[in-house]
A and B are shown apart, each in its own frame.
Chain A
Amino acid sequence: MAYIAEDWLRATVEATSEFCETTLAMEMRTGVDAPRLPDNLTGCFVALVGSEEALQIGLASDPAGCQTLARTLFAAEEELSESDVSDALGEIANILAGGVKKRMAETFGGMSLGLPIVMEGHLRVTDRQHIAQLDIALGEVPVRLLVVCSRE
């Protein structure tokens, strides 16, 4: 069955909502209330690979937003190091990708999670790839959810 990036993005949004409720204790907002983000972002991706599909699940924000998300995850008041921020972003992306895998397991069994990679800048894709993205807010933090998959 062919799934498009928007289907995977929908599962990512659901996984993010669950993560916000259970772990971050932050409200997730979508749509018109969500703040707009620049293209130059810091983010983290985790690969989700199976026999039929291969994609990247990620989230990104501006540096201040990443710092806030990491401090929320660590329950820290002090400024966190770049390493700790990357660790936190990686864990968030890992949990979101796991949530997507769980939601899509009936259709795409046997998918594997890759290791998180942290990126800075803007995302470039080839003609054979497609990005689905949604800007949301986690509390007051602007976040872009991203799914990169092959073009059908």
Chain B
Amino acid sequence: MKKLLIVDDSKAMRMIVRRALRQANIVEHSVEEASNGEDALQKLAAGEYDLILADWNMPQMNGIDLLKAVRAQGNKIHFGFVTSEGTGDIRDTAMQNGAEFLIVKPFTPEAIYEALKPLGLA
């Protein structure tokens, strides 16, 4: 069983991502949640995960700073964004810093499936 970490300050959005995973028939993984980048780093320090699905705009530590912090630790965990920030420059920044995909809200379960499939997680 793989472990996924959803990082979003919105409880509603964390639930939407969970629902989309189920609707995409990605049900075999364990899913945990964090409410911002700092919270995510604490969870990463306490256990191993296979994928981070992070929002971009969050209080305390945003998504791109989380990604930079994770990569600075030498952690090669799969990392993707689920965000309202869908413009080209945001996408470029994400990829240059080691993200593997960026899903723009609003999204469909198919978008989640297509993003996770190349990583062997769907």
Seen from chain A, the residues whose Cβ lies within 8 Å of a Cβ on chain B are 18-19, 22-23, 70, 73-75, 84, 87-88, 90-91, 94-95, 97-99, 101-102, 105, 109-110, 113, 115
Q: Chain A contacts of B10 at CB under 8 A?
A: 87, 90-91, 94
Q: How large is the interface on B (under 10, 10 to 19, 20 to 34, 35 or more residues)?
A: 20 to 34
Q: How far is the CB of A10 from chain B (nearest CB, A)?
A: 18
A-B contact pairs, 21 of them (CB 8 A): A19-B106, A23-B16, A23-B106, A23-B107, A70-B12, A73-B16, A87-B12, A91-B10, A91-B16, A95-B84, A99-B106, A101-B84, A101-B85, A101-B86, A101-B87, A102-B87, A105-B87, A109-B87, A113-B57, A113-B84, A115-B57
Say whether B12 contacts A88, CB under 8 Å: yes
Say whether A115 contacts B59, CB under 8 Å: yes
Other CB < 8 Å A-B pairs besides A88-B12, A98-B84, A98-B85, 10 of them?
A23-B16, A90-B10, A91-B13, A95-B105, A98-B83, A98-B86, A98-B104, A101-B84, A102-B87, A113-B85
Q: How far is the CB of B16 from chain A (nearest CB, A)?
A: 7
A99 with B84, Cβ < 8 A, contacts A22-B106, A87-B11 known: yes
CA distance A94 to B57 in the complex (A): 10
Say if the beta carbon of B68 comes within 8 Å of chain A: no
Q: Chain B contacts of A91 at CB under 8 A?
A: 10, 12-13, 16
B:50-107 near A, CB below 8 Å? 57, 59, 83-89, 104-107
Q: How far is the CB of A16 from chain B (nearest CB, A)?
A: 10
CA distance A75 to B86 in the complex (A): 25
In this complex, which of B19, B83, B84, B85 has the most chain A Cβ atoms within 10 angstroms of its Cβ? B84
Q: Identify which of A70, A88, A109 contacts B89 (C-beta below 8 A).
A: A109
Say if the beta carbon of B25 comes within 8 Å of chain A: no
Q: Chain B contacts of A88 at CB under 8 A?
A: 12
Q: Chain B contacts of A115 at CB under 8 A?
A: 57, 59
Q: Chain A contacts of B57 at CB under 8 A?
A: 94, 113, 115
Say whether A22 contacts B108, CB under 8 Å: yes
Q: How far is the CB of B89 from chain A (nearest CB, A)?
A: 7
Q: Chain A contacts of B16 at CB under 8 A?
A: 23, 73, 91
CA distance A99 to B86 in the complex (A): 8
In this complex, which of A22, A74, A84 has the most chain B Cβ atoms within 10 angstroms of its Cβ? A22
Say whether B11 contacts A75, CB under 8 Å: no
CA distance A22 to B112 in the complex (A): 12
Say if the beta carbon of B119 comes within 8 Å of chain A: no
